[in-house]
Amino acid sequence: MRQDHVATLATLVALLISLPSAAGFGLAPAHAPPLRLRAPAVRACAPASEEVDVVWSGLKVAVLESHYEIGGCAHEFNVNMDGKPVPSELLAKKPQPVFKFEAGPSLYSGLSADASPNPLKHIFQMVGEEPEWINYDTWGAHLPEVPEGYELSIGAENFMEILRRYGGPTAREDWDRLAEQLMPLTKGVTALPSTAVRGDAGVLLTLGARYPRAFLDVILNAQKITAPFDLEAYGVRDPFLKNYLDLIAFLLQGLPSNGTLTAVMAFMVDEFYKPDAVMDFPKGGSGAMAAALARGVTKHAGCSVRTSTPVEEVVADNTFRMVPEGAHAGFDEERDALLAPAAPVYSDDDGPADGEGLPLCKSFMHLYLGVRADAMPPDLPPQWTVVNSWDVPIDAPGNVIVSVPSILDPSLAPEGHHVIHAYTAGNEPYHIWERFEGVDTNKDAAYLALKEERAAPMWEAIRRRVPRVEEGVVVRQIGTPLTHARFLRRHRGNYGLALAAGGGFEFPKVTTPLPGLFRCGDSTTAGIGLFRCGDSTTAGIGVPAVASSGAQCANALLSVWEQLKMNDKIKMPSSAGEPLLQRR
């Protein structure tokens, strides 16, 4: 197999599973009664009819995205000065001033460094495409101990200053004790790339032989790093430090620290101690990341990424076929493998959804503003967090993150303007929105009133730093959990599975068949069968879980030697050591 074909396969899967509303597929015959997996119907602008194959052994591949922008939960959308949406495809043909808003994540780290444990960085390295990165190190926060807010650079030295100012008398001692116990675990946690994991004995070569020291550390400390984290067991008594670590854990995993794996907390401690720590932001916004992944597909002959092409159903009879909505015929060519983005809840034609009852993180509220620069203070940080009280659970409504990415990249807003994106960090309950399912949300007065009511904490969080914000607003949009459920195809608009560490749940992995469907071939046979991808197939939520899952799905389609060749491009920090397995 040519190396560029292997790299393209990895790109496809990474892009595919970053799009919960997308579907991609591949290669050879299956033999079983017809089974169907139906997706929510979204009208297609142009149903696809081309032949598509996974780029494996030089064949073709296509990614089918139901919406007009790629990127899924991390997509970017454009709004003109009149508040009207402008598709990127149209903007490329007819440039005009627009505000570029991010649908999802705004916090990135470990992407600008050449050597990093970040799995998305590994995907970029393997496919040879990535955006330009902008670095910054300033973070703002408004916490109960300091409601007027503070602004400090990130990194170990400045975190010690935060503890000195706002922690109690034991805060520094508690932190040092915690770090002393966790730092030995970081050697393995930060030195093994999750993108090199595979679900068979080949992992002994892809991880064990290539990263022997880290692999041994993980094996020896497996019981510790896979255990639920317990602050009290590690001697953390200071209330401020406890609350602060809960906040960071929630932002990383969607759960407080006691629901998080010790491995995740060890990784976090290591990040605090990194010299010259910085945050990253993609020049061009999150859309630039999706575009880089798309280039990894489209730069190869016969490969494509199609937008406005929703998939209504997947049919498995004597072949795998994708049936776009409105298409009169499916794809009838023989395939070896079907790659499908997986959500924790699916339903078939014969019964209730599999996976119902799984605990889900809450959803989001979003406030998008296009604001005149003259209404903005000149010394704003690019990001700030607002937590009003530690007396309620960390996932209680009201905690807000505010991002002003145009401070870092002025191209995201028209000249003389800024974009502001405020969002509640996975803490908006869906049940208060259920009554509006199926109604015309553009006209329903009760829905519009509830939007304004639930957006109030975001306005308040913005006013903490931009007291005159309303005076400068040119464009405003509010997103709700119904928006998430509709546009991102997330069940109840959820952030991800809320599975606490130690709960006994076993993730289905990428080689587990989707509920109600079948796999053709042996699960250990590379390139044969039905595979599921996404953040419901691996521990964690958000972009890291998605990137890891995508790479692991690609690995399942490749032989060990093909994977090793692709993994040669991964650059890990020096703590990983040099691989002992050197190939010619």
pTM of the model: 0.84
Query: Tokens 């913005």 appear where?
Result: 462
The tokens for 224 are 């510790």
What phi, psi does 127 have (nearest 5°)?
Answer: -100, -5
- How confident is the model over 408-434, as pLDDT tens digits? 999 999 999 999 999 998 889 999 999
- How confident is the model over 514-565, as pLDDT tens digits? 443 433 333 333 334 567 777 777 777 777 777 777 778 778 777 899 889 8
Q: Find the farthest-apart pair of alpha carbons in the chain and give their distance in angstroms, rounded.
A: 71
Query: Tokens 């992995």 appear where?
Result: 509
Beta strand pairing status for 320-324 and 146-153? Answer: unpaired
The tokens for 59 are 């064949």
Q: What is the pLDDT of residue 317?
A: 54
Tell me: pLDDT of 576 over 80.
Answer: no
Q: How far is CA 434 from the centre of its chain?
A: 25
367-385 burial, b at 16+ Cβ within 10 Å, e below that, comes to bbbbbbeebbeeebbbbbb
End-to-end CA distance of the chain: 15
Query: Tokens 């079907």 appear where?
Result: 338
Q: What is the pLDDT of residue 525?
A: 37
Greater pLDDT, 272 or 575: 272
Distance between CA 418 and CA 370 in Å, rounded? 6
Beta strand pairing status for 22-25 and 337-341? Answer: antiparallel
Helices (H), 314-473: 445-463, 469-472
- How confident is the model over 191-242, as pLDDT tens digits? 889 888 887 889 999 999 999 988 888 888 888 888 888 888 999 999 999 9
Q: What is the pLDDT of residue 515?
A: 42
Sketch the domain layout of the chain as residue ranges.
Answer: 3-70+284-358+496-576, 154-277, 362-495
- How confident is the model over 489-510, as pLDDT tens digits? 888 888 887 777 666 666 667 7
Tell me: pLDDT of 390 over 50.
Answer: yes
Q: Which residues pair with 46 in a beta bridge?
A: none
Greater pLDDT, 301 or 384: 384
Q: How many CB atoms lie within 10 A of CB 3?
A: 13
Greater pLDDT, 339 or 183: 183
- How confident is the model over 439-490, as pLDDT tens digits? 888 889 999 999 999 999 999 999 999 999 999 999 999 999 999 888 888 8
Q: What is the pLDDT of residue 519?
A: 36
C-alpha distance from residue 306 to each of 40, 158, 159, 236 (Å): 18, 46, 45, 51
Distance between CA 259 and CA 500 in Å, rounded? 4
Helix 3-17 with 119-127: angle, nearest 10 deg:
140
The tokens for 238 are 């200071």
Q: How many CB atoms lie within 10 A of CB 209?
A: 15
Q: Is 370 helix (H, G, I), strand (E, B) or coil?
A: strand
Q: Which residues pair with 341 in a beta bridge?
A: 533
Instruction: Tell me the residue length of the chain.
Output: 584
Distance between CA 268 and CA 231 in Å, rounded? 14
Distance between CA 85 and CA 322 in Å, rounded? 29
The single-letter DSSP state of residue 82 is T
Q: What is the 3-state secondary structure (H, E, C) of 343-383?
A: CCCEEECCEEEECCCCCECCECCEEEEEEEHHHCCCCCCCE
Strand order from edge to edge, sheet including 311-316: 35-38, 311-316, 320-324
- The answer to whether the CB of 83 falls within 8 A of the CB of 32 is no
Distance between CA 190 and CA 187 in Å, rounded? 6
Q: What is the pLDDT of residue 73?
A: 82
Q: How far is CA 161 from the centre of its chain?
A: 31
Q: Give the pLDDT band (50/70/90) at residue 16.
A: very low
Greater pLDDT, 247 or 96: 96
What phi, psi does 108 have (nearest 5°)?
Answer: -135, 145
One-letter amino acid at 292 equals A
On average, the pLDDT of the chain sits at 78
